[in-house]
Structure 1
Amino acid sequence: MTPPLRTLSDWSPEAVVFDCDGTLMDTERHWQDARNRAFREFGLLPPPGFADRAKGVHYVDCGRLMAEETNKPELAADLTTALLAHFMTLVAEDPLTMPGAGEMVRLLSGRLPLAVASNCPLEVVEESLGRAALRHHFRHVVVPTRPPDDRGTALGTDGERGPAVRPKPWPDVYTTAARLCGVRPETALAVEDSLTGIESAWHAGLRVLGVGPLPDQANTGHADAWVTALDDPELLRWARDWRRPLSPDVDRDQGHHGPH
C-alpha cells in the first residue's frame, strides 16, 4: 500500500536532505545508458533485470556487480572505470532536472537547511547541480569518501581526515548530512527515489519521502510517504505553506562543505 502524503502533513522537518540521481536530477537514465555502453564495450550482454538491481547502487559496487553477473570477475575494475567515464560524458551532454525538483528546492531554500546525500562522485553532483542552477541552494553535499584505511578513517571532500563515509545502503551519507545541517537525524526529512537510498535514510533515523514510480507497485520499503514526482500538487502545497523560521544559531553559511 502506498504511504499517503498526509502522514507528513502535520510534521515540520528541521532540515531536508535530497538524493541527487533520479530525485533532483534526471540522471538515472544516464546510468542505465552508461551501463549498457560499458557492457557493449567489453562484448557483454546485460543480465535480465540488471537495471532494477543496479538502481541506487554506488558505481564501484555496480561495476563489481556487472562483472560478477556476467561471470567476468577479472573485469570489475575495467567495467567500473568504463561505467563512470560513459556516465560523465552523458551527464555533461544532457543535465536535466526531475519534474518539480527546481520548484521544490526553491520553495524550501533559505527557510531551513538543505543538503544532498548521494552515492555519485562529488564532481558529478557538483556539476549536475551547477548546470541546473541549484547548487547554491544546498549548504552541504555529502558523498562517500575513500575506502577506510586500517584506522577506520578516510580523507573527506575538504581534504581533512575523518571517519570514512560509506555508500548507501549504509546510513553514513544521511547521518553525516544531518549532522552538518546541525539537526538530529530524526528531525530531518530525506527525499529518495530508490529502495537502496530509502534503506540508507531509514537506518540513519530520518523520515523518508519516496518519489517516482513505485519500485514494484507494492513495496515502498521504509518510506513514510510516497509521491510519483516532486511536482505533486499536494507536496508543493506542503512546501509552499511551510513557515517555520530558521533558528538563529543554525549555521547560515551557503558555501561547500563535505563530510568531516
Structure 2
Amino acid sequence: MTTTAHDLLDWSPEAVIFDCDGTLMDSERHWQEARNRAFREYALQPPPGFADKATGLHYEDCGRLMARSVHKPELAEGLTAALLDHFLALVTDDPATMPGAVQLVRLLSVRLPLAVASNCPRVVVEGSLERAGLREHFQHIVVPDTGDGMRPKPHPDVYAVAARLCGVRPDRALAVEDSLTGVKAARRAGLRVLGVGPRPQGDGAARADLWLPALHAPELVTWAHSCAIRRPLPES
C-alpha cells in the first residue's frame, strides 16, 4: 500500500534503516565499472540493459547473473571473484557519500536508532561508512554474511533483522532505498519505504511510499528536524 508524500512525512518512525550502496555511499558507479572490468577480464561484453538488471543485487547473485547473461554459467565463480576484487579496489581509491547523506544521518542519529541493511560484504560497508565519518551514527550493520542463514535482498531478511536489532516492529521502521531490489526487500519485511535518487522506470517504484530525488530534498530535511526524539534501546 502506498501513501502520499504528506502521509509519509507526517509520520514519525521509531527507527530508520538505510541501504548503503547508492543510498548513503556513491558506490553504485563503482559496481557498474567493476562489472565492466570483470566482463573485460574474460573478454566478454555486457549485454544491453544489464546494468539495470544488476542494480541492488548481492555480488554473488550478480556474478551468477553475469555468467548467465553471456550464456557461460561455468564462469559464475570466476566472474563473481573478479567483480568483488575490482569493486574493492575502486571503492578504496574513491569513497564518496551521496549528496545530503551526512547531514541527514547526523540529524536522525540524535533522534532515532539507525541501522544499515545492505547486500554488500561487511568489510565494504564498515570501511565505507568509517571513511565517510558515518559509522559511529549506526547502531547496527546487517548484511547477509556467509553462514548466518540470512538471504540477500530482494529477500526480506536483512531488513527484518535490522528492525529487530533496533527494538522496533517492522511496521514502525522506515527503510531508505535507491533500488527496486531493496524496495522489494523492505516491503516484504513489513517496513515503510522511502525511495531516493532517480526514479526507476516502470511501475516498481510505486511500491515505495514516497520517492524523492535526493537525501537533501528540502522536505526530507525538514521532516528529519521534526522527528520525535526516541531514546534508543541498549544493544543486546
**TM-score interval (norm. to shorter):** over 0.9
In structure 2, give the amino acid aligned to 1:16. Answer: V
Q: Deviations over 1:24-58 (max 9, x none)?
A: 00000000000000000000000000000000011
The corresponding residue for 2:25 is 25
Q: Summarize the alignment of residues 7-156 of structure 1 with structure 2, pairs less than 5 Å apart.
A: 7-146=7-146, 154-155=147-148
Name the CA distance, whole Å, in 1 between partners of 2:4 and 2:84. 36
For normalisation by structure 2, the TM-score amounts to 0.96
Aligned-pair CA distance for 1:243: 2.6
User: Aligned to 1:115, what secondary structure does the other structure show?
Assistant: strand
CA RMSD of aligned residues (A): 1.5
Aligned-pair CA distance for 1:6: 1.7
Answer whether contact 1:100 1:229 (CA < 8 A) is retained.
yes
1:209 aligns with 2:213: no
User: Aligned to 2:31, what secondary structure does the other structure show?
Assistant: helix
Answer whether contact 1:166 1:173 (CA < 8 A) is retained.
yes
In structure 1, give the amino acid aligned to 2:107. Answer: L
Name the CA distance, whole Å, in 2 between partners of 1:92 and 1:50. 24
Answer whether contact 1:101 1:230 (CA < 8 A) is retained.
yes
Aligned-pair CA distance for 1:218: 5.1
In structure 2, give the amino acid aligned to 1:66. Answer: M
Aligned-pair CA distance for 1:221: 3.8
Name the CA distance, whole Å, in 2 between partners of 1:63 and 1:214. 25
Name the CA distance, whole Å, in 2 between partners of 1:55 and 1:3. 25
Name the CA distance, whole Å, in 1 between partners of 2:163 and 2:8. 18
User: Aligned to 1:32, what secondary structure does the other structure show?
Assistant: helix
Answer whether contact 1:31 1:87 (CA < 8 A) is retained.
yes
* Identical aligned residues as a percent: 64
User: Aligned to 1:79, what secondary structure does the other structure show?
Assistant: helix
Structure 1: 5+ residue stretches without partners: 147-153, 156-163
For normalisation by structure 1, the TM-score amounts to 0.87
In structure 2, give the amino acid aligned to 1:224. Answer: D
User: Aligned to 1:220, what secondary structure does the other structure show?
Assistant: helix
Name the CA distance, whole Å, in 1 between partners of 2:221 and 2:4. 15
Structure 2: 5+ residue stretches without partners: none
Find runs of 4+ consecutive structure 1 residues off by over 6 angstroms. none
Name the CA distance, whole Å, in 2 between partners of 1:170 and 1:219. 16
Name the CA distance, whole Å, in 2 between partners of 1:203 and 1:131. 31
The corresponding residue for 2:183 is 198
Tell me the matched-pair count.
235
Answer whether contact 1:189 1:207 (CA < 8 A) is retained.
yes
In structure 2, give the amino acid aligned to 1:132. Answer: A
Answer whether contact 2:110 2:229 (CA < 8 A) is retained.
no
User: Aligned to 2:207, what secondary structure does the other structure show?
Assistant: coil
1:220 aligns with 2:205: yes
Aligned-pair CA distance for 1:222: 1.2
The corresponding residue for 1:160 is none
In structure 2, give the amino acid aligned to 1:238. Answer: W
